[in-house]
Amino acid sequence: MSEISFDDFLKVDIRVGTVVDAQEFPEARRPALKLWVDFGPEIGTRKTSAQITKYYTPESLIGRQVAGVVNFPKKQVGPFMSEFLCLGFPDGQDDKGIVLIAPERNVPNGGRLF
């Protein structure tokens, strides 16, 4: 792993947002969900697909806060355009077990990680 500078870290815009909609994504090659996350008034609502079906259902995600990288370019995922990268850690059991990153307490949508 190579070291980065603090300025490099500042280039990655990681924000917190609240899931306002979540749906199954049957067209995905690997099991995934489509998420719409409200990142506050500055950024607005953005959508993404996430391979998080081992631990999460669409119903369990509504109202939950998550962390995401909001300054990556958009990426086409099958018929769906992903607008941010939802962040999580592997559970250490298999490549399907992703645990989402979330703040310990509710914080205002759009807050930047530092």
DSSP string covering the chain:
-----HHHHHHS-EEEEEEEEEEE-TTSSS--EEEEEE--TTT-EEEEEE--TTT--HHHHTT-EEEEE-SSPPEEETTEEE-SEE-EEE-SS-TT-EEE---SS---TTPBP-
Residue 12 in domain: yes
Q: Is residue 64 part of a domain?
A: yes
- pLDDT bin (cut points 50, 70, 90) of residue 48 is very high
pLDDT confidence band for 96 (50 / 70 / 90): confident
Is residue 24 assigned to a domain? yes
From residue 68, alpha-carbon distances to 33, 76, 82 in Å are 15, 17, 12
Q: Is residue 106 part of a domain?
A: no
Overall domain count for the chain: 1
Does residue 30 lie in a domain region? yes
Residue 90 lies in a domain: yes
CATH number, domain of 29, equals: 2.40.50.140
Q: pLDDT tens, 12-45?
A: 999 999 999 999 999 999 999 999 999 999 999 9
pLDDT at 6 over 90: yes
User: How many CA atoms are closer than 13 Å to the CA of 19, on its beta-carbon side?
Assistant: 25
The answer to whether position 110 is within a domain reads no
Per-chain mean pLDDT for the chain: 96
List the domain range (segments joined by +) for residue 30: 6-100
Residue 107 lies in a domain: no
Residue range 64-76, pLDDT digits in tens: 999 999 999 999 9
Q: How many CB atoms lie within 10 A of CB 112?
A: 11
Using the predicted structure, report yes or no on whether residue 102 has a pLDDT greater than 80: yes
The pLDDT of residue 92 is 92
